[in-house]
Structure 1
Amino acid sequence: MSDPSMLFEMPLFAVLSAERKQWLSANLSEHRLKRGEILMREGQTVTHQFILLEGELLTEKLVAGRQVIDDTRLAPVSVAEASLLAGMPLPLTFSANTDCYLVSLTESVVRTLLSECESFSKQIFRSMYGRISAYDSFILSGEKLAALGRLSAGLAHELNNPAAAVARAADGMRDALDSLHRATRALVLCAMPADIMDTLDVWASRAPPVVDATPQGALRQSEAEESFAQWLSSHGFAKPWLIAPRLVAAGFAPEEFESVAARVTREQFGAAVRWLAATFEMRFLSEQTWVGAGRISEIVKAMKSYSYMDQAPLQEVDIHNGIEDTLTIMQHRLKHGVVVTRDYDRALPPVPVYGSELNQVWTNLIDNAIDAMEEKGELTIRSHREGNCAVIEISDTGHGIPADILPRLFEPFFTTKPPGKGNGLGLHIAYRTVVLRHDGRLNVVANEGGTTFQVRLPLEHRHAAAR
C-alpha cells in the first residue's frame, strides 16, 4: 500500500532531521493518477513541487503544433521544482504513463526547507544542476546530429551527381558497344586498305583537346558541329547530327577527312567514319564512368577520413588533411560562387587532436563563413606556427560582424541568422571543442571587409584535452 513515508528514502529528503520530517509529513498532500491522466500541462503556472513515489510519468512538448514525447520519469523522482522556484511556466506536459502515486509540497513549504535546511538546499540544487547538464548535453548532441543530417543531405546530393553520371554512361555503353560492333563488322566487310586503317588507328588514339567551358567556347563548338554535320550530309551520311558532335569533341575538322574520302569508296569512307565516331563515343563514355566513379571514391574517402572511422579518438594529425576533407564534403555549399584560397604552412608538425571533433569545428566555421558571404565570395584558409601553437585562420569576405555582437558570438543559442537558418549552437560547439576539449583558443576579428576566426591549438597534448 502506498505510504508517503517513502518520501524520506529519497536522498533529497533523507538528510532532513526527524523533527523536520515530521513537520513535512503534516504539510504534504497525496495524489493518485490513473494511466493517461494529466498531472500538469505545458505553459501552466506551477504552484507545487511534486514527488513521484510510485509509477511512471511521461513528459511531452508541443513542437510545430503537435505533441512530441520528451522523456519518461520513473519513481522515485522530484518534478517541477525548477519551474516552481524560478516562477516560470512549465516547459513540459506531465501525464501518467502508468498508475501513479505522488505527494506534493506547496511553494511556501519548499522555500522554508530551502532557507532552513542547508542539506536540502544542496541536494535540490545538485538535482537541478544534473538536469541542466543533461539537458545541455542533449541539446548539443541534438545540434551535432542536426549538423550531421545537413552534411549527409549535402553529401547525398553531391554523390547523386557522379552516381547519375556513371549510371547514364553505363546505360549509354550498351548502345555504344552495339554501334562499335556494327561499325567494326562493316569495316572488315568493306576490305579497308591497310594504309587507311593505319591512319584510322592513329586518329583513334588521338588525345582530345581541352574543353572550352566558356559561353563563347560552347557557341564555337555548336557552330563546328553544325558545319561538320552539313559536310557529312554532303558525303551521303544519314543522320549526320549523331556523328558530328563526337568527331568535333575529339578535335577533328572536315578538312582532315578530305584526303581519306578521295582514296576510298563511299562505302569504305562511311564505314571508316562510323567506326571512328563509335570508338570515340565508347572512349567518352568510359571516361565519364571513370571520372564519376573516381569522384564517388574521393567523397567516400574524404568522409571516412573526416569521421576518423576505425581510428583512435586522439592522435597526431596533419591539420591540413582535416581541413581538406571538410572542404571536399562541403563542396555542395562551395560550388555556387565561393572561391577557396589556401595559404598553408606545410612545415607545421602533426597536432594532437580529437580528429572527428575538430573537423566539426572546421565544418561550423566554414559553414558560418559561407552564410556570411551569402554563398558568393572568397574563403581564405591560412595556417602558421605561433610559439608552441598551430594557428589556423578562416576568413570570409562578408559584411563583417557588428562590434556589439562580438562579445556574445560564442554564447549558446545566440544567432543573428533568420529563423530556420540557425539555432546559435554551431559557434558555441566550436568554442567548446577548441577551448575545453583541446585546451586551445578561438578568437574572432571582424571589420567591414569580412571576418576572420583564429583557432590556436597546442602542439603538445595537455591534461585539458582529456576533460
Structure 2
Amino acid sequence: MIQLEELREHPLFADLSEALLQWLCEQLTEVSFAAGEVLVRQGDTASNFFVLLKGEVAATTLSRGQQIPTLRFIAPSYFGALALLSGTLAPGSSRAVTDGRLALLPARAFRELVVGSETFSRFIFQSSFDRLTNLEATLRNREQLAALGSLAAGLAHELNNPAAALVRTADRAMAALTTLKAADVELRNHAIPVEAMKILEGLGDRREVTNVMSGIDALKQNQAMDALGNWLVAQGVAKPWLHAPCLIGAGILQEELGPLAIVLSKQQFFAAIHWLASTLELNALMADIHVGSVRISEIIRAMKSYSRMDQAPKQEVDIHEGIEDTLIIMQHRLKQGITVQRDYDRSLPPLTVYGSELNQVWTNLIDNAIDAMDGQGDIIVRTYREIEEAVVEITDNGTGIADDVMPHLFEPFFTTKPLGQGMGLGLDISYQTVVNRHRGALLVSSRPGKTTFQVRLPLAAKPGQT
C-alpha cells in the first residue's frame, strides 16, 4: 500500500484532508514499470487515473502514420484525467521513458474524488485546461505541418512527371537535331528545285497536334501508316517505318506527297522525305518540351500563389484564384478519379482576407470531400453573392454525414477516420479561420449523395476585424 506521507508530498494531493488521504490510499494500486513499456494505448477505454510517483513518461498521438510527441510527465505528476473527465477514449499513447512507479486510481474513485474535494477538482480542471490548450496548439501546428508535408509530397510527384519527361524529350530532341542536320546536308547536295522546296517547307511547318488524324482511333492510324509505308517503298524510300509515323502524326498522307514524287528523282524524293520526317519529329519534340515546361511553370506559380509568398498576410485577393491554385496543388489526389465542376460568379469583387489561411480552408474541405467519396466521384465548387457576403460552396456526392456526427463536426480532435489517419483538426482549423479570423460563417448540410460545406465571407471588413 502507498504510504500517506508519499501522498502528502505529491502536489496533486497536498491540500487533501487526512480522511480523504486515508480513503485515497485504500483506492490506489501501486505498479512498477520499465523503460519503453507502453502504459496507455491511443483509442483504449479510459479506466484509470495515473499518479506518477517516480520516473518519466512521454505522451504521443498517432497521426498520418507517425507518432507525434505531445506531452512529457516527470514525477511527481499525473496523466489520464482528460479522457476520464470527457468520457472519451484515450486521445494518445503513453510510454515510459525511464523505469518508475505509478499509482492507479480507478475511474469510479477518481470521479468521487473530483466531486468530494473542491481543492482537487479545481487543481485537476485548471491543469487539464492548461494541458489541453497547449496540446491543441501543438497539434494544430503539427497538423498544418503534416498537411503541408502531404502537399509537398504530392507536388514533388506532380513536378517529377513533367521534369522527367522533359529530360527524356530533350535527349530525343538532341538526337533528332543531329539527324535533321544530316538530312539538311543531304537535301542541299541533291539540289532540290525551288518549288518542291516550298512544298516541303510548308509541310514541315505543321506544328498543330489537332490534325486530320487526331480523331481517328489507333487501329486506323496504324493502317494509315502501313499504307503510307508501302507507298514510300514503291517510291524507293529506304526504311519507311522510320518516317511514316512522323508524317501520319502530322496528318500528311500520300495525296500531299504524290506531287513531290512526280517532280523529284528517287534520290531527291528520299532526301526530301528524310528531311521532312526529321523536321516534323523535332517540331513534335519541341512541342512536348513546351507543354512540360508550361506544366512545371503552372505548378510553381500556383504553389507561390497558394502560400502567398512575399506578400503581406492580409491582402486583396480573388477567391477564385485561391480555389484554382488549391485545385492545382491537390491535383495528385484529384486525378485518381475525381471530377471537379466549377460554377463561378466572376462578378464577385476581390476580398481583403488572409489569403494563405483561406487556401488552407479550401484544402481541408476538398480533402474531406475526396475522403468522403473514397477518391471516386464528383465535386462541385460554386461561388455566388448573397447580399453583402461572398459564398463558396463545395459539394461532393459521397455517402453523407451521419446525424450523430453532425453536432460534433467542428469540435477539435473529433474524427470519424480510422486511428492514425487524422487528428480531427482540419474542420476545426477551417472553422476558426472562417468564423474567428474572417468574421464569416462555415455551414454544412448533408444527405446521402450530397454533402455541401458553405463558406460565407463578408465582402467588407466588419468592425473589430483585423
Change (3 A) 1:212 1:380: farther
CA distance in 2, matches of 1:242, 1:122: 85
Contact 1:180 1:278 in 2 (8 A): yes
Contact 2:163 2:296 in 1 (8 A): yes
Amino acid across the alignment from 1:150: S
Q: CA deviation at 1:314?
A: 2.2
- Alpha-carbon deviations, 1:64-112, whole Å to 9, x = none? 9999866534577554555787899986445355x98x99797899889
Q: How does 1:211-290 map to 2 (within 5 A)?
A: 216-290=216-290
104-113 or 444-453: bigger deviation: 104-113
Change (3 A) 1:441 1:81: closer
Which SS does the other structure have where 1:158 is aligned? helix
Amino acid across the alignment from 2:445: V
Contact 2:62 2:419 in 1 (8 A): no
CA distance in 2, matches of 1:233, 1:188: 23
Q: CA deviation at 1:240?
A: 1.1
Match in the other structure for 1:367: 367
Contact 2:49 2:110 in 1 (8 A): no
- Alpha-carbon deviations, 1:396-430, whole Å to 9, x = none? 34454455554444344555566787665433332
Change (3 A) 1:82 1:155: closer
2:331 counterpart of 1:331: yes
- Alpha-carbon deviations, 1:204-226, whole Å to 9, x = none? 22343515898843333222222
Change (3 A) 1:128 1:387: same
337-346 or 187-196: bigger deviation: 337-346
Contact 2:48 2:105 in 1 (8 A): no
Contact 2:314 2:353 in 1 (8 A): yes
Amino acid across the alignment from 1:252: I
Contact 2:370 2:376 in 1 (8 A): yes
Q: CA deviation at 1:289?
A: 0.8
CA distance in 1, matches of 2:152, 2:279: 39
Amino acid across the alignment from 1:359: N
2:173 counterpart of 1:173: yes
Amino acid across the alignment from 2:245: P
Contact 1:58 1:71 in 2 (8 A): yes
Amino acid across the alignment from 1:301: R
- Alpha-carbon deviations, 1:424-445, whole Å to 9, x = none? 5433332332223322111223
Match in the other structure for 1:190: 190
CA distance in 1, matches of 2:396, 2:252: 45
Contact 1:439 1:464 in 2 (8 A): no
Which SS does the other structure have where 2:383 is aligned? strand
2:321 counterpart of 1:317: no
Change (3 A) 1:40 1:256: closer
CA distance in 2, matches of 1:125, 1:316: 43
Which SS does the other structure have where 2:311 is aligned? coil
Contact 1:45 1:87 in 2 (8 A): no
Match in the other structure for 2:453: 453
Equivalent in 40, 48, 51 of residue 49 of structure 1: 51
227-236 or 269-278: bigger deviation: 227-236
CA distance in 2, matches of 1:419, 1:106: 27
Contact 1:39 1:96 in 2 (8 A): no
CA distance in 1, matches of 2:138, 2:418: 23
Q: CA deviation at 1:328?
A: 1.3
CA distance in 2, matches of 1:204, 1:341: 39
Q: CA deviation at 1:322?
A: 0.4
CA distance in 2, matches of 1:188, 1:274: 12
Which SS does the other structure have where 1:197 is aligned? helix
Fraction of identical pairs, as percent: 46
Contact 2:302 2:325 in 1 (8 A): yes
Change (3 A) 1:63 1:190: closer
Match in the other structure for 1:157: 157
Match in the other structure for 1:95: 96
Tell me, which stretches of 5 or more residues in structure 1 are unaligned?
Answer: none
Amino acid across the alignment from 2:295: R
CA distance in 2, matches of 1:420, 1:88: 16
CA distance in 1, matches of 2:325, 2:195: 52
Amino acid across the alignment from 1:165: A
CA distance in 2, matches of 1:413, 1:303: 28
Q: CA deviation at 1:318?
A: 1.1
Q: CA deviation at 1:261?
A: 1.5
Match in the other structure for 2:148: 148
CA distance in 2, matches of 1:315, 1:331: 26
Amino acid across the alignment from 1:50: L
Amino acid across the alignment from 2:72: T
Contact 2:63 2:423 in 1 (8 A): no
Amino acid across the alignment from 2:51: Q
Q: CA deviation at 1:279?
A: 1.0
Amino acid across the alignment from 1:169: T
2:388 counterpart of 1:388: yes
Which SS does the other structure have where 1:252 is aligned? coil
RMSD: 4.3
Which SS does the other structure have where 1:454 is aligned? strand
Change (3 A) 1:399 1:119: closer
CA distance in 1, matches of 2:94, 2:399: 43
Match in the other structure for 1:296: 296
Amino acid across the alignment from 2:163: A
Q: CA deviation at 1:45?
A: 5.9
Higher relative contact order (CA 8 A, sep 6+): 2
TM-score, structure 2 as length reference: 0.79
Contact 1:46 1:89 in 2 (8 A): no
Amino acid across the alignment from 1:95: A
110-119 or 391-400: bigger deviation: 110-119
Q: CA deviation at 1:187?
A: 1.1
Q: CA deviation at 1:281?
A: 1.0
- Alpha-carbon deviations, 1:277-308, whole Å to 9, x = none? 11111111111111101101101110111112
Change (3 A) 1:332 1:203: same
Q: CA deviation at 1:165?
A: 1.8
Q: CA deviation at 1:182?
A: 1.0
The size of the alignment, in residue pairs, is 454
CA distance in 1, matches of 2:255, 2:66: 72
58-67 or 121-130: bigger deviation: 58-67
Q: How does 1:431-442 map to 2 (within 5 A)?
A: 431-442=431-442
Tell me, which stretches of 5 or more residues in structure 2 are unaligned?
Answer: none
TM-score, structure 1 as length reference: 0.79
Contact 1:261 1:269 in 2 (8 A): yes
CA distance in 2, matches of 1:169, 1:423: 43
CA distance in 2, matches of 1:63, 1:450: 28
